[in-house]
Amino acid sequence: MKGLYIALGVLVLLVFMGGCSYNGMNGARLDVDQKWADVQSSYQRRSDLIPNLVATVKMAANFETTTLTQVIQARASASSIKLDAKDLTPEKLQQFQASQGQLSQALGRLMVVSEQYPTLKATENFTNLQVQLEGTENRIKYSRDQYNASVMKYNVSVTNFPSNILAGMFHFKEKPSFQAENAAQSAPKVQ
Tell me the mean pLDDT in the region 155-169. Answer: 90
Top mean-pLDDT range of 55-69, 110-124, 158-172:
158-172
35: buried, middle or exposed (CB in 10 Å: 19+, 13-18, 0-12)?
buried
Residue 13, pLDDT score: 72
- The pTM is what? 0.74
Residues 7-16: pLDDT tens digits?
Answer: 877 777 777 6
Residues 74-106: pLDDT tens digits?
Answer: 888 888 888 888 878 888 888 888 888 888 888
| Residue that wins the pLDDT comparison between 172 and 181 | 172
